[in-house]
Amino acid sequence: MSLPEPVIAMVDSALEFVYGLEPLVAPTVVLVPPIAREVVQQLSDMIGFDVPTLTYTLGMFLTYPLGMIMCVLPYGKIRHVFSFLLGAFLLQFTVGVQWIHQLITSLLAYAMFVLLPRKYSKLAVPIMVMIYITLGHLHRQYINYLGWDLDFTGCQMVLTQKLYMMAYNLYDGELIAKGKSDKAAKKCEKYALKELPDLIEFLGYCFCFSSALAGPANEFTTYRNACDGSLLVDTNGKPKGKKPSNFLPTLLPFLKCLMNLVIFVVVGGMFPLLDTVDPKVNTPILLSVDFLAKPWIYRYAYMWVGLFAVRQKYYYAWNSAEGANNIWYFGFDGFDAEGKSKGWTTASNIDMWKFETAPNVQQMSKEWNQKTSMWLAKYVYIRTDGNLAAVYGLSAFWHGFYPDYYMFFMSIPLMTFCERLGKKKISPYFSKEHWTPYGVVSMIATSFCVEYMVAGFICLAADRTWAVWKSHYFLGHILCVVFYAVVSQFPTPKKKEKTT
């Protein structure tokens, strides 16, 4: 990163001060025995996985036996204590001393909730957590530019959502109690909080062991209902319905995550996108001289398969987390008025099939990282009167500050404009069924353009992303512009009059 010398000196001085605090923080890592580190190192040497990736993978698998314990614990305070301590253990196991960032952020937010009026804390807490994650992203980008090393920022992104939501939950609760609820508060009424949870409940939510590493970031009321039993029984202790088995809702996501892990390792190893020796310094495989000499159709197909393999690591994390949440009924949707099960979607964060076969960007966005999409919808979109710029802007900030993220987020609206135009001018002539010729063409066109545009999330550097787009002749952008220019000239079909 090229920065002016005075800025570099100032940043280095600030980092030196922060790093100097590590000896004071290191003693807080008390939940992980030293022998655990030794075993992980030996296992890493044996199978060839780097230590950070291996500890994260093991941490995700550990959530399953922990979930089994949580499932048999009595409802109430003990569950909150267990959730906090085991969440802290997993963070200490995976990111070591950096776990302190989650604790600092949580306590700062709680202090704001205690001291500030709700109309101020609903802004102060979101601003604070966004500044904190911003500094985390900038730090990572500064010391490890173009690197993919695991650090606390991934977990911090989940916590950012939780604290952001709670700030508005408390504000909505106050508005509703005063009879002054606005449109946004009414839409989110079932998540509103009448009062601030006590510190143990709050920390149990923030550090919840089954969602701390990979999410999903569910609402506090959802977490509390699973801990106090109100998800399954009424105030009199009577079951709300027949308790469903958690066996398949746990087993199926677990099997999926194993499949994702295998595909990521095997297929990703066969179709690497970045240099396998030194991805930060060496030219990405997608831009190597030998690769660029190959026919375009080969290069695009290779990139498509490689990106499919990269997505598997996200699928792995989300599917693994879904099973871990379902095992103690945190992922159960509850019962309807007749006592029938509503299903198991609370902890679901991805529908792989629907995402991979989406006929438009809107559907893709809905299926990818579902709870993050809901967070942006409920706490950004409707709070800013449908301001898409605010949604895309906050999403980009939440992801980080590599210019490629912004190149992607600025390109996707181009596809959205085309889809809206196509829906208005072309779709009325065709069947809306998914697996019709029109649906299949829409699916292929969406996949083609999105795979092309999303390459920046892998390349990170602006010059690399631009070079990848150039190697594909900027087809994704050009096709969108041409489509919009041509289709906008089409007549708009008249709506069919309804017959009575």
Q: What is the DSSP string of 124-188?
A: HHHHHHHHHHHHHHHHHHHHSTT-----THHHHHHHHHHHHHHHHHHHHHHHHHTT---HHHHHT
Q: List 48's β-bridge partners, or say none.
A: none
The residue-averaged pLDDT of 54-73 equals 94
Least confident of 113-122, 193-202, 453-462: 453-462
The residue-averaged pLDDT of 127-154 equals 89
Least confident of 338-352, 435-449, 450-464: 450-464
Least confident of 62-76, 283-297, 336-350, 401-415: 401-415
Q: Does the pLDDT value for residue 84 go beyond 60?
A: yes
Band of residue 2 on the pLDDT scale cut at 50, 70, 90: low
Q: Does the pLDDT value for residue 344 go beyond 60?
A: yes
The residue-averaged pLDDT of 388-409 equals 84
What CA–CA distance (Å, rounded) separates 255 from 442?
31
The residue-averaged pLDDT of 121-136 equals 95
Give the pLDDT of residue 500.
47
Q: Does the pLDDT value for residue 166 go beyond 90?
A: yes
Higher pLDDT, 355 or 494: 355
Give the pLDDT of residue 496.
64
Question: What is the chain's mean pLDDT, rounded?
Answer: 91
Q: Does the pLDDT value for residue 331 go beyond 90?
A: yes
The residue-averaged pLDDT of 157-184 equals 94
How many residues appear in the chain? 500
Whether 274 contacts 283, CB under 8 Å: no
Q: Does the pLDDT value for residue 1 go beyond 70?
A: no
Assess whether the previous peptide bond of 216 is cis (omega < 30° from 0).
yes
Give the pLDDT of residue 79.
97
What CA–CA distance (Å, rounded) separates 486 from 44?
56
Band of residue 143 on the pLDDT scale cut at 50, 70, 90: confident
pLDDT per residue over 414-448, tens digit each?
888 899 899 999 988 887 787 888 889 999 999 99
Q: Does the pLDDT value for residue 498 go beyond 60?
A: no
The residue-averaged pLDDT of 20-28 equals 91
Token pair, residue 60, equals 């995700």
Give the pLDDT of residue 429.
87
pLDDT per residue over 247-291, tens digit each?
999 999 999 999 999 999 999 999 999 988 888 888 999 999 999
Give the pLDDT of residue 123.
96
> What type of residue sits at position 213?
L
Q: Does the pLDDT value for residue 316 go beyond 90?
A: yes
pLDDT per residue over 32-49, tens digit each?
988 888 889 888 888 877
- Is the C-alpha dihedral spanning 138, 140, 143, 146 positive or negative? negative
Give the pLDDT of residue 457.
76
Q: Does the pLDDT value for residue 16 go beyond 80?
A: yes
Q: What percent of the chain has pLDDT over 90?
A: 66
Give the pLDDT of residue 150.
82
Least confident of 58-67, 172-181, 398-407: 398-407
Band of residue 397 on the pLDDT scale cut at 50, 70, 90: confident
Higher pLDDT, 201 or 146: 201
Higher pLDDT, 406 or 76: 76
- In angstroms, the Cα distances linking 27 to 23, 24, 99 are 7, 7, 12
The residue-averaged pLDDT of 402-410 equals 84
Characterize 54-73 residue by residue with b for buried, 16 or more Cβ atoms within 10 angstroms of its Cβ, and e for exposed: bbbbbbbebbeebbeebeee
